[in-house]
Structure 1
Amino acid sequence: MVGLVLASGGVVRVGDQRGVDAAVVRACPGAQVVRASQFPGPPKARLAQRTRAVVLGHRALGLPPASCLLVFPPEGGAPALGPGSSLALRLALEARLPVWVAGEPRPQGPGWAPLALAEVPGWALLPIQGRLF
């Protein structure tokens, strides 16, 4: 996935958690990593602010809004997205960004279409631009 984003001229931006975030950083050492420690408040609030900055950008950190969102399920095949991924997905949908979600189940709501990227099956919602990246 990282190769597809970079080949399109995109920038990889990711959170600072273990699991998928860490895998993305290993695959793309030049990724923009948004750290929860950059935000004030209790841990849960910092994590939510971090997720908002990843998706919607953050002026003080010099981050523009994302142009699309790629979401991966938690490691180990858990059937539901974690709280950070769920928040990122909700924010991207509200901002009408193109979104791709890996694997099953199909995300809820109208307009999702099956789309494999780099031979990984998933679901895409392309609300405005008609392309993912």
Structure 2
Amino acid sequence: MIAPLAFIIGLSMAKEAVENWHWFMQDMKVSMRKVRVHNGEDGETNLKVKRSLESTLSLDDDSAFKDFSGTIKCEDPNPNLYTFVGNLEYERQVYPLDPSQILLRDSKLRNTGHVYGVVIFSGHDSKVMQNATKSPSKRSSR
């Protein structure tokens, strides 16, 4: 009775390891991509405005983040790009988070030098990855 159970658990562990390896390799591929820096001319003119919470405006340099501690509680991973429901618990206060405070995967930073942030979901759990769909088949259904 132990042998079949051990076999099933071992098989499940192997499957999880393979999936995690694929996620790791995909994340590494994205992280290792070369990028070009935008020179400030041309580009998209319909920029999306993102804002920090007023309560975190004073956290504007590395030394301010040295003792920063907070907790984010939010919705489960989902493919809805234009919605986000969550809260930041910081200094015994709860602040609501919405889409204007999040940057999606592969967002481009413009008109500011840097951003301090936290990764909420990564890999296949990110909104962009969950929203991605496979290309439709160009073959006939016949």
**For the superposition of Structure 1 and Structure 2, which TM-score range results when normalised by the shorter chain?**
under 0.3
Query: TM-score, normalised to structure 2's length?
Result: 0.24
Query: TM-score, normalised to structure 1's length?
Result: 0.25
Greater C-alpha Rg: 2
Q: More relative contact order in 1 or in 2 (CA 8 Å, sep 6+)? A: 2
